[in-house]
Structure 1
Amino acid sequence: MNEQRDNVYSIGQFAKLTGVTGRTLRYYDKQNLLKPSWRNEHGRRFYKDEDLLQLQKILTLKFLDFSLEDIAGHLADPGINLQQSLDQQYDLLRMKQKQIDAVISKLDRIRHIVEGTGTLDNGLLLTLIHSVQHEEEQRQYLSRLMPSTLIDAIYMDGKPNQERLDTERKMLVQMVKLTELGKAGKQPQDAEVVQTGLQLVEMMRELIGPIISEMSEEEVERLEILESDETFLDPSIFPQHVAKEDEQFISEVMAYLADKEEGGNLFGR
């Protein structure tokens, strides 16, 4: 009776059998995760059936998003509490899932905002992405300077999501128009710039005007001081390398419109 022998596979055959590329198998060999059962005199790798089990362990742990370092630890020490590791990995993956969901949600919002606005200048688009990304930090910063009701109005809390996106899109269209006018060499006092700026201001008034009308004189006075201070927005959460000329032009337009407004401000009473 013939003695049963293990099947022997070249690296190419083993790769085809397992669906893992030869390159990956060589990498696992280099990382001491999966050594071939033997090599011939020419250094060619050969695998046996028992190597299939080792590879399956690696692929299972990799599927669970364990790092190669952690996988190596589990393979080197079978006594490690795998169940405890699975619980920790579960918590880690849930955390990653929340982060990914948050990023997808923000990207979805940005895509809806820019929809129909044409091709945006990269600088302005990066500024928009940065603003959405750090919106919560900016809200926390403003909460130390403004009444919560005003902050809620600025960020359109309580409004239906589609209405909020439509408003953000309309405001972005006006900002794009302003930046294009600035790039074309227009000045803040030019009629077309003034008209576009006033349209943007009117949108902002619709958001915060009713709240400002109910604020105390002291709160309004404090807001007017903030409006005249270009540094009242937390600079640490704004991009320092994009669209500076666009931001400067919009600031100049707003300052010009404020100078023309009775009382010297755009949004106060």
Structure 2
Amino acid sequence: MKRWTTGEVSKQRNISIRTLRYYDQIHLLTPSFRDENGKRYYSEEDLFQLEKILILKSLSLPLENIRDILDKLSYKQILISHFNYLQEQLSKLQTSISNTASLINMIDLDESLSWERVSELVQNSPNSKKWIDYFQEDEKAFLQKTIPNLSHNDKTTQQYISLLRRIEWCIKHNIKPESDEGFQIASELIEISNDHFQGDTKLEEKFWEVRKLPAEETGLYPISEDVLEFVERCIAYVTT
């Protein structure tokens, strides 16, 4: 039967000898074997106990609590708890990544973004009605796959950001929607929309009506009335 010295366990698991001796001192993990010279050795069962201790420590449990439950939970049960904990941490990390990507794209849209606006967009109220709630279940599934999202950094989202900035530039410089630049913007918007909605004009119109609602009701990135009017006018200019 293989046995391990304190030094070997310390090296393999990157745990200090002092910590292992402390675990022995408080009767949390005591080596099962001692040779004729008094040297202590850990068994394989001891090492499994150590793994359980390390996992429970990663869940931020105090050593006193770990000692109380160590023998009541199997290694598999502890692994399942750790798995659930990691899944929760992953979810939080993915949310943080999405929020950070959203902020990057917001700054691309508005370099003078205020803290109040950032706070309003990041801390969405879970009780408020969001844009997706205005649609039927089959429409939701379709739209969530196709509609650009500021939390994503894909090519289509970047295209929309670029178009919005061009529209804002036109408004700032008094360039009308019924101009060559407006015609080009509308053409690109129509092309992207056709790709997204796959020819479903009814759903496209429904989404556009939701898009025009106040941002605090939909949770969508707020777009000014001037921009929305520019879009409607330039598209009308192209399609009539």
TM-score, normalised by the number of residues in structure 2:
0.49
Tell me the TM-score normalized by structure 1. 0.45
